[in-house]
């Protein structure tokens, strides 16, 4: 009996020991593993940043809601610690999924040659244009020109005109014929009158010999050419000298090209230019520059050069696109332009941007603003912003831009911030006398009206408000000295420019410089009558940023108006708390 009890006790003890070994160890392992996972997860949340998918400028060290739109924040890609302030890194997987490709850029010149490539058009040779006009008053009875593009030859009948004045002149001729012996002067005067109306000797003699008055007279072409415009119709009554048709002789045409400002020094009259029409890429024509426009187009910053080309076979049609190549002298010292594929360029307002691969073979990118020249085929000429040999993104640019936004880097919708020197200009210390405050107080309401006029795009109100602001600030000129006086004088010059100019863009450009100086004065002026806010728009002033003063926190952008009314943010305040 005792042996059985002992066996049972030993069996139970062995079972308990084995159970502890099996289940106790597994539970401990699971517990330890859960703790490890929890620690790793907590570590990720603790060290990572959180952002908004719609507003990537929002960066938070902990999860929550976006303060702008209220959406849940998502983990932000921390990027690469080795990337520069403007650079960002993408993953190899993202690069592959978006099929992102880059291309190395180089010079637009032909290999081994110093050649500038231009784009242009065929234009009519204006020197060969002619207007066919009526030489006497009358009604057009018959118009023999039916459509533009019709070919005419010298001496061809263009129109038949009934002229009451010409009928009367013929009657005078027949009457003076009978008096030729006694009054030869009168007779000759009547004949000369008809000659001045372009009647030939033969026509005059026929009238005189037949004794019959013709009611309708023909108008003949005086040149060969192609009708480019019909300027009258049958039944019209036209005055002497009024045009009937416009004729252009297309036996010669102009090849006209646009040249950018930094290229002008490379061209001269008589210089050879090789021309290829887009319609006939196998035909290369040789021409010489015959004209360089002396006036530059202020809007496009280009001027025209042209060459005269023979066109007797009629292959070259006005409006055709051309490509021109001009060999230039390397001694001119003009830097050859680079070319970038059109697919690499992204447009945002007035800016043109590309993404540059900053590390060869690595998915590290940087947004770069560029200035573009003319487009030739699928390439843009680049005048500023890139260097030879750099790699730019040519496929998947929008994906790269999205990655930049999610990492809060410079992108299409998040331009580079105001430069440090520009941003702190308003914060310069200077001595402003206390007496200047009353003049500034008097000018402030007028300045605010000027700002609202620019918001509304009302140039007339802007000019008037600028004049009133100018009047108030001029009174305080004697109360300032040194640097403060210099800032006031610059402000006055800008107000004078705004007051005397009714072009909105020019007013806004002067408003930028006005604020750079006026805000520096306001910053150092004591006893301001009310609290003012300094507002910054990073996209104004060609994306260099610009400031202005506002009496409330609501952003009303004077540089863009309704186009981007709320673009900007309050960066500082002045005056009363």
Model confidence over 227-281: pLDDT tens digits? 988 988 888 888 888 888 888 888 899 999 988 877 788 888 999 999 999 888 8
Q: Is 93 helix (H, G, I), strand (E, B) or coil?
A: helix
Q: Against a cut of 0.85, is the pTM above it?
A: no
| pLDDT value, residue 119 | 85
Residue 87 is assigned to a structural domain of this protein = no
| pLDDT value, residue 454 | 92
Identify whether residues 504 and 516 lie together within a single domain: yes
- Where would I find the beta strands (DSSP E) of 204-298? 216-220, 225-230, 237-238, 243-248, 252-260, 272-277, 285-292
Q: Which two tokens stand for residue 520?
A: 């520096």
Identify whether residues 562 and 515 lie together within a single domain: yes
Q: Which two tokens stand for residue 75?
A: 């983990």
Residue 25 is assigned to a structural domain of this protein = yes
Query: Rounded CA gap, 143 and 160, in Å?
Result: 7
Q: DSSP string covering 29-72, please? A: HHHHHHHHHHHHHHHHHHH--EE-SS-TT-EESS--B-TTT-PB
Q: Which two tokens stand for residue 67?
A: 């303060």
| pLDDT value, residue 422 | 47
Decide if pLDDT at 82 tops 50. no
The string over 509-528, giving b where at least 16 C-beta atoms fall within 10 Å of a residue's C-beta and e elsewhere, is bbbbbbbbbbbbbbbbbeeb
Q: Which segment of 135-144, 370-379, 425-434, 498-507 scores lowest on mean pLDDT? A: 425-434
Identify whether residues 353 and 243 lie together within a single domain: no
CATH no. for residue 206?
Answer: 2.40.50.100
What pLDDT, in 10s, does the model give residues 303-332? 899 999 999 888 899 999 998 888 866 544
According to the per-residue pLDDT averaged within each range, which of 53-67, 91-105, 367-381 is highest?
Answer: 91-105
- Domain total in the chain: 6
The closest alpha carbon to 348, from 420, 404, 419, belongs to 404
Identify whether residues 69 and 210 lie together within a single domain: no
Strand order in the sheet with 532-537: 546-550, 532-537, 569-574
Question: How much is the average pLDDT of 64-92?
Answer: 66
Q: pLDDT class for 53, splitting at 50, 70, 90?
A: low
Identify whether residues 447 and 533 lie together within a single domain: yes
Residue 568 is assigned to a structural domain of this protein = yes
| Range list of H helices, 279-396 | none
Total number of residues shown for the chain: 577
**Average pLDDT, whole number, for the chain?**
79
Q: Which segment of 7-21, 189-203, 471-485, 496-510 scores lowest on mean pLDDT? A: 7-21
Decide if pLDDT at 418 tops 50. no
Q: What are the residues whose beta carbons fall under 8 Å from the beta carbon of 336, sequence distance 6 or more?
A: 107, 108, 109, 114, 116
- Out of 406, 428, 446, pick the residue that ends a domain: 406
| pLDDT value, residue 452 | 92
Contact 74, 50 (CB under 8 A): yes
Q: Which residue has the higher pLDDT, 415 or 485?
A: 485
- Out of 247, 270, 300, pick the residue that ends a domain: 247
Q: Is 544 helix (H, G, I), strand (E, B) or coil?
A: coil
Residue 117 is assigned to a structural domain of this protein = no
Identify whether residues 447 and 569 lie together within a single domain: yes
- Out of 303, 332, 361, pick the residue that ends a domain: 332
CA dist 380 to 302, 542, 555, Å?
Answer: 15, 21, 37
Residue 412 is assigned to a structural domain of this protein = no
Residue 283 is assigned to a structural domain of this protein = yes
Identify whether residues 429 and 553 lie together within a single domain: yes
CA dist 139 to 197, 215, 233, 244, 482, Å?
Answer: 15, 11, 10, 12, 78
Identify whether residues 437 and 556 lie together within a single domain: yes
At residue 80's C-alpha, the angle toward residues 75 and 84, to 5°, is: 120
Query: Rounded CA gap, 23 and 31, in Å?
Result: 12
Identify whether residues 346 and 328 lie together within a single domain: no
Identify whether residues 288 and 401 lie together within a single domain: no
Contact 56, 407 (CB under 8 A): yes
Q: DSSP string covering 241-257, please? A: T-EEEEEE-TTEEEEEE
Identify whether residues 38 and 54 lie together within a single domain: no
Domain hosting 396: range is: 92-108+337-406
With pLDDT > 70 as the criterion, what percentage of the chain qualifies? Answer: 80
According to the per-residue pLDDT averaged within each range, which of 11-20, 362-371, 537-546 is highest?
Answer: 362-371
**Helix and strand totals (H; E) in the chain:** 13, 29
At residue 293's C-alpha, the angle toward residues 292 and 297, to 5°, is: 135
Q: What are the residues whose beta carbons fall under 8 Å from the beta carbon of 351, sequence distance 6 or more?
A: 369, 415, 543
User: CB neighbours (10 Å) of residue 303?
Assistant: 19
Contact 570, 533 (CB under 8 A): yes
């Amino acid at each position: 009996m005792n042996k059985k009890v002992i066996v049972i006790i030993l069996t139970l003890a062995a079972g308990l020991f084995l159970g502890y070994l099996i289940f106790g160890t597994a539970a401990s392992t699971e517990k330890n593993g859960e703790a490890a996972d929890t620690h790793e997860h907590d570590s990720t949340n603790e060290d990572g940043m959180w952002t908004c998918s719609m507003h990537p400028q929002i960066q938070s060290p902990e999860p929550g809601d976006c303060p702008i739109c209220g959406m849940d924040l998502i983990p932000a890609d921390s990027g690469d610690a080795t990337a520069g302030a403007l650079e960002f890194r993408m993953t190899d997987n993202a690069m592959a999924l978006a099929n992102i490709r880059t291309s190395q850029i180089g010079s637009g010149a032909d290999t081994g040659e110093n050649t500038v490539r231009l784009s242009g058009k065929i234009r009519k040779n204006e020197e060969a244009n002619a207007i066919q006009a009526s030489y006497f008053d009358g009604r057009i009875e018959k118009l023999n020109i039916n459509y533009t593009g019709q070919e005419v030859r010298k001496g061809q009948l263009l129109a038949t005109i009934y002229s009451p004045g010409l009928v009367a002149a013929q009657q005078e001729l027949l009457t003076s014929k009978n008096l030729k012996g006694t009054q030869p002067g009168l007779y000759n005067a009547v004949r000369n009158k008809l000659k001045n109306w372009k009647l030939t000797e033969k026509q005059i003699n026929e009238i005189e010999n037949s004794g019959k008055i013709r009611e309708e007279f023909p108008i003949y072409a005086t040149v060969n050419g192609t009708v480019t415009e019909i300027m009258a119709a049958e039944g019209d009554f036209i005055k002497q000298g009024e045009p009937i048709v416009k004729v252009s002789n297309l036996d010669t045409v102009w090849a006209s090209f646009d040249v950018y400002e930094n290229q002008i020094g490379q061209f001269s009259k008589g210089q050879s230019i090789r021309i290829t029409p887009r319609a006939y890429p196998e035909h290369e024509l040789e021409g010489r520059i015959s004209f360089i426009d002396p006036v530059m187009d202020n809007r496009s910053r280009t001027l025209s050069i042209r060459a005269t080309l023979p066109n007797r076979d009629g292959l070259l049609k006005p409006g055709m696109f051309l490509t021109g190549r001009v060999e230039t002298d390397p001694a001119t010292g003009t830097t050859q332009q680079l070319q970038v594929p059109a697919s690499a360029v992204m447009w945002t307002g007035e800016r043109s941007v590309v993404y540059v691969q900053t590390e060869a073979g690595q998915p590290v990118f940087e947004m770069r603003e560029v200035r573009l020249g003319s487009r030739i085929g699928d390439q843009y000429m680049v005048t500023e912003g890139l260097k030879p040999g750099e790699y730019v993104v040519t496929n998947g640019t929008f994906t790269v831009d999205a990655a930049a936004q999610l990492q809060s880097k410079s992108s299409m919708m998040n331009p580079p911030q105001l430069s440090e020197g520009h941003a702190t200009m308003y914060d310069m210390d200077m001595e402003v006398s206390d007496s200047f405050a009353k003049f500034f107080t008097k000018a402030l309401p007028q300045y605010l009206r000027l700002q609202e006029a620019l918001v509304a795009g009302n140039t007339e109100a802007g000019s008037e408000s600028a004049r009133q602001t100018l009047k108030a600030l001029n009174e305080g000129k004697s109360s300032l000295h040194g640097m403060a006086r210099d800032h006031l004088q610059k402000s006055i010059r800008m107000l004078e420019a705004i007051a005397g100019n009714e072009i909105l863009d020019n007013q806004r450009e002067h408003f930028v410089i006005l604020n750079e100086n006026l805000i520096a004065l306001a910053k150092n002026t004591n006893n301001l009558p009310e609290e003012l806010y300094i507002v910054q728009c990073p996209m104004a002033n060609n994306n260099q940023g610009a400031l202005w003063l506002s009496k409330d926190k609501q952003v009303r952008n004077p540089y863009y108006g309704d186009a981007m009314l709320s673009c900007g943010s309050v960066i500082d305040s002045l005056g009363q708390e």
